[in-house]
Amino acid sequence: MGLFSKARATPLDGVDVVLADLDGVVYAGPGALPHAVESLNRVAETRRVGYITNNASRTDASVAGHLTELGLSVAAEDVVTSPQAAMRLLATMVPAPATLLIVGGEGLVVEAEKAGYRVTRSAEDAPDAVVQGFAPEVAWTDLAEAAFALKVPEDEGGIPWIATNSDWTIPRERGVAPGNGTLVSAVHTAVGRLATVAGKPEVPIFEEAIARFNAHKTLFIGDRLDTDIMGAARVGIDSALALTGIDRPKHVLAAPEGSRPTYVLSDLRELHEPYPTVERRNGAVTVNGATVRVVGGDVEILAEGKRHIDLVRAGAHAIWDSGTPIFVLDVPEKLYDDPFHRP
């Protein structure tokens, strides 16, 4: 499922459900990203739009309220959260009404209680599992309680450990900050155990969304290759990487197989624009006037084209087609240029 693998007038052609990530796609911090709201409202005129988030700090209702304040029309049932995916996964391991040690915020607590679990914040309450999700208020003391509860390895009788997601970073209005994966890693370092992940890039959160919206042809929009795009690939749906969040052109060029988007977008306005096809001739790849080829260990720009996004697309496809890892290639600095909006 690679870039330009299908000829379409726009990325939306044939799609009945669009699923969008939130952080880095719709907003960064409390504010909307440029062109996101109007573009998604336009999508919603003809298609169902759902929202998927790995951020476990808020409830689906509070997320819907925030999106509505930004100018979108969203109900709680339109939002699929990683805590919901975590509860789905946990039910197969430790059924309710077991006791869960929660590391995280309101979004995780509400979903746990909704699913019938008892909630504690202390390892002294002998929890049956630990569930860890991101919240800005998570402190060292919370991580320590998780470590105390997880001191016995699971294969020696220890309790399960579920992480809502493993995002290393999270985009905020002031820049990029540590995400839940960073906090999970801190506990892992202390106890030497690995968490089972429920959110992106794992499939439960995507399967929940596809089933909830009765999707037949789905397009998922994300800003990260390692969670959003990889997760979409794992469930076999098309994906669009928006260069408005974490991953940049250099990451697109280096994307490994299994994490390559169907579409690469400067911003969400390009959902509604004709998407250029790829042309291969004499070992070169051309996209809308931008032409790149790989010869031996050199990546060569033969034509820059009129838009840098087309040069990124052409460069990505040429490098991917070469089958050569990017770290052994000599890549022109021009391909790494990053004029796109980011938080």
Tokens of 137: 């208020």
Rounded Cα–Cα distance for residues 101 and 291 (Å): 54
DSSP reduced 3-state for 90? helix
Rounded Cα–Cα distance for residues 78 and 63 (Å): 10
Is 78 noted as a catalytic residue in this protein? Answer: no
DSSP 330: B
The one catalytic residue in 23, 60, 78, 167 is 23
Rounded Cα–Cα distance for residues 250 and 129 (Å): 39
**What's the full length of the chain, in residues?**
343
Q: How many CB atoms lie within 10 A of CB 41?
A: 13
Per the listing, tokens 């790995």 go with 54
Tokens of 255: 């994307």
For residue 201, what are the contacts with CB-CB under 8 A and spacing of at least 6?
Answer: 226, 227, 228, 230, 231, 234
From the list 223, 293, 227, the residue with the least C-alpha distance to 27 is 223
Q: Is the peptide bond before 97 cis (omega within 30 degrees of 0)?
A: yes
The one catalytic residue in 13, 16, 21, 310 is 21
Element (H, E) at 37: helix 36-44
CA separation (Å) from 103 to 115, 195, 307?
17, 13, 45
CB 231 within 8 A of CB 82: no
From the list 1, 2, 11, 57, the residue with the least C-alpha distance to 30 is 57
Is 23 noted as a catalytic residue in this protein? Answer: yes
CB 18 within 8 A of CB 48: yes
CA separation (Å) from 146 to 107, 112, 126, 297?
18, 16, 11, 48
**Any idea which residues carry the catalytic annotation?**
21, 23
